[in-house]
């Protein structure tokens, strides 16, 4: 039986299949093959990674060992990068043994030691290019590379993520700050050597001309925050919800805090103005008459932590509630 988006049990993650395909095609045209190392942390889904591989990107990066192990188990292990630090011996050992080509980012003696002791063979030196998160000081990258090589590890190059830049709305500012960040990375690269300069993201995909591979992930489904940046990618993910209660001045649908990443604030509902979310509800002021049982589409403020709550992505053949569900993509890369 044909199932429409409006027939799904809710809350249900829904992607507009043609919109996803267009996003993937657009990025593949701009960054073909290994010029893009898709980041799977945004979608956590091997089915979507296969769509990226089908467009020529067979190198991936991820934020957790479990994401990489899932890619390897799905036959997508040609060249996998843990774009994050780990000192977890069991997980690093599992990566070293999983049969895929594994590269791990390191930014300290301790992370180099952890890699060496667990059988990891290839590294990137993670460099802080301006965002206060992981990454060594640019001037320290060469010393760490030497240390790693002295321990018998292969250092493929450097990685640096301009996460403090990717969301800046003004393009000129974004460009200037990307250049500054990438000059830091280039300085580190000169000391480290190797073929790989990995970095960038969806918001700087057309500005960051310094990296050899772009680590973009959000472009596939797109976040509302990126909507202000005039990028050639369209929002493709919603949560379908059911109106369960209607009062005189508000209505309630079954899409709450446990179905949505909330760090970027409230979602948007296509039937009115959101007042607040509870664990299992969104209360909104309808801008048209709604009735109990009716479906609405909820756009999460942040895609990544939204998907991490769900087991399944339902793929529709177009936008809206009347679209037909044509495929199911398990969110099979959840957890750590």
Residue among 212, 308, 317, 324 that touches a copy of itself (CB under 8 A): 308
Query: Exposed (0-12), middle (13-18) or buried (19+): which is 149, by Cβ within 10 Å?
Result: middle
Q: Which of residues 38-67 bind a copy of itself (CB under 8 A)?
A: 41, 63-64
| Omega before residue 51 within 30° of 0, cis | no
Nearer to a copy of itself by C-beta: 155 or 301? 301
> If binding is defined by CB under 8 A, does position 289 make contact with a copy of itself?
no
Structure tokens at 305: 């932590």
Under 8 Å CB-to-CB from 287, ≥6 apart: which residues? 271, 272, 273
Q: Which of residues 135-194 bind a copy of itself (CB under 8 A)?
A: 135, 137, 163
> If binding is defined by CB under 8 A, does position 257 make contact with a copy of itself?
yes
Under 8 Å CB-to-CB from 235, ≥6 apart: which residues? 19, 221, 222, 223, 224, 227, 299
| Measured CA angle at 161 (ends 181, 129), to 5 deg | 35
Q: Which of residues 193-252 bind a copy of itself (CB under 8 A)?
A: 242, 244-250, 252
> If binding is defined by CB under 8 A, does position 134 make contact with a copy of itself?
yes
Q: What is the DSSP letter of 56?
A: T
Residue among 55, 57, 277, 314 that touches a copy of itself (CB under 8 A): 277
Total of residues contacting a copy of itself (CB under 8 A): 59
Nearer to a copy of itself by C-beta: 2 or 248? 248
- Considering the complex, what minimum distance in angstroms separates the CB of residue 145 from a copy of itself? 17
**Residue with the two structure tokens 């109106």:** 243
Q: By the 8 A CB rule, do 87 and 114 touch?
A: yes
Nearer to a copy of itself by C-beta: 2 or 9? 9
Nearer to a copy of itself by C-beta: 288 or 291? 291
Q: By the 8 A CB rule, do 157 and 193 touch?
A: yes
Structure tokens at 237: 């993910």
Judged by the rule CB under 8 A, the positions of this chain that interact with a copy of itself are 9-11, 41, 63-64, 84-88, 90-91, 107-111, 114, 128, 132-135, 137, 163, 242, 244-250, 252, 254, 257-258, 261-263, 275, 277-281, 283, 291-293, 302, 304-305, 308-309, 311, 335-336
């Amino acid at each position: 039986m044909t199932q429409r988006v409006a027939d799904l049990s809710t809350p249900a993650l829904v992607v507009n299949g043609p919109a996803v395909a267009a996003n993937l095609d657009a990025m593949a045209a701009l960054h073909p093959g290994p010029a893009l190392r898709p980041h799977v942390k945004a979608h956590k889904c091997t089915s979507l990674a296969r769509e990226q591989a089908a467009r020529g990107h067979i190198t991936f990066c991820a934020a957790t060992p479990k994401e990489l192990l899932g890619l390897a188990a799905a036959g997508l292990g040609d060249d996998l990068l843990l774009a994050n630090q780990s000192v977890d011996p069991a997980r690093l050992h599992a990566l070293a043994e999983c049969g895929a080509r594994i590269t791990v980012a390191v930014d300290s003696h301790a992370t180099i030691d952890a890699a060496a002791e667990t059988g990891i063979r290839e590294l990137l030196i993670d460099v802080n290019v301006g965002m206060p998160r992981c990454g060594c000081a640019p001037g320290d990258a060469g010393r760490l590379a030497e240390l790693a090589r002295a321990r018998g590890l292969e250092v493929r190059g450097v990685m640096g993520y301009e996460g403090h830049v990717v969301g800046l709305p003004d393009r000129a500012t974004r460009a200037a700050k990307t250049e500054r960040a990438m000059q830091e990375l280039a300085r580190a690269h000169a000391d480290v050597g190797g073929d790989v300069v990995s970095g960038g993201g969806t918001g700087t995909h057309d500005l960051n001309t310094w990296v050899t591979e772009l680590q973009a992930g959000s472009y596939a489904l797109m976040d509302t925050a990126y909507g202000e940046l005039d990028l050639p990618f369209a929002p493709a993910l919603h949560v379908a919800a059911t109106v369960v209660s209607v009062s005189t001045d508000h209505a309630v649908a079954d899409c709450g805090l446990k179905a949505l990443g909330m760090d970027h604030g409230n979602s948007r509902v296509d039937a009115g103005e959101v007042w607040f979310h509870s664990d299992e509800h969104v209360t909104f002021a309808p801008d048209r008459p709604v009735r109990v049982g009716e479906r609405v589409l909820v756009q999460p403020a942040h895609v990544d932590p939204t998907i991490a709550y769900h087991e399944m992505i339902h793929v529709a053949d177009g936008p809206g509630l009347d679209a037909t569900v044509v495929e199911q993509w398990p969110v099979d890369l959840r957890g750590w």
